Amino acid sequence: MSKVILVTGAGRGLGTDIAREALTAGHQVVATGRRPEEVEKTLGGPQDNLLVTRLDVTSLEDAEAAAQAAVERFGRIDVLINNAGNLFTGYFEEISPAQMRQQFETNLFGPMNVTRAVLPILRKQRAGHIITITSTAGLVGMEFTSAYAASKFAEEGWMESLRHDIEPYNIHTTIVEPGYFRTELLVDGSTTWPELSIDDYAPRTAPRIEGMKTMNRQQPGDPAKLARALLTIVGQDKPLLRFVAGADAIEAAEAKAKELLAQAKASRELGDSLAYDVAPA
């Protein structure tokens, strides 16, 4: 069945693949980006089932305008795909406080802005689906990604909690945790290198940056296949709550689950001893 799907960050990378695959599948697509003329050109020009509109996710006003434009054009919104994001890399001390805040503005408060604009429409409909693209870095912290991982862990906690807020209104949620896909996350404009420089980290920083640059276009995941997988989830009667996307992501998730279980067991004796000996009056 055709749905109205709003996609953020549709001008490049995975967002373009999602919008393109959704159009091919017969859906009505609201493709958003900071430069709408580029989004429309990337998607092949004007189309009956396509609305292209400006959206900088850090602007709540942009988000509200995009949601309203979607309803005016197509009458409803069925699916929101929070895809827009960027990557600030570096060791924690070399990431400036301003960079850390910028990372959260885009990766956490950005999808919150768009969701805040769309939710009143979904509640009124008593139907809808919110999909947020996080990352394997939202499950597993890794070297040189403290800002990015922090924003993605926060995004996961928000989405896990949001699910319980909106389930009574027949609104579904799905967290998507991709591994390494051949998107444009590692290109200039999506990746920002550390602003500060500390001698202790210098021998590790330069090779780490070079390694990330050489990884670009070598990632194993096919973003077009991921886009089609997301559309499969969109069509499910009971959509997955969490989609771990890619063999590398599944391996990382399984390892993290084992680690958490092992740490819980190791904590049992000490952790179970922390209750009051006698219940307080």
Catalytic member of 148, 180, 201, 276: 148
- In sequence order, what are the residues at sequence separation of 6 or more whose Cβ sits closer than 8 angstroms to the Cβ of residue 45? none
Is 5:30 a contact under the CB 8 Å cutoff?
A: yes
DSSP H helical ranges for the chain: 13-24, 36-42, 60-74, 97-104, 110-125, 146-166, 202-215, 223-234, 247-271
Q: How far apart are CA 113 and CA 61, in angstroms?
A: 9
Q: Which two tokens stand for residue 47?
A: 């189309």
Q: How far apart are CA 21 and CA 39, in angstroms?
A: 14
Q: Which two tokens stand for residue 247?
A: 């063999």
Reply yes or no on whether 180 is catalytic.
Answer: no
Q: How far apart are CA 159 and CA 157, in angstroms?
A: 5
Q: Give the neighbor-by-neighbor strand order of the sheet with 242-245.
A: 50-54, 28-33, 4-7, 79-82, 128-133, 171-178, 242-245
Listed residue (152, 123, 132) closest to 140, CA to CA: 152
Cα–Cα distance list, 149 to 144, 177, 219, 224 (Å): 9, 12, 19, 24
| Entry field: residues in the chain | 281
Residue type, 165: D
Catalytically active residues are 148
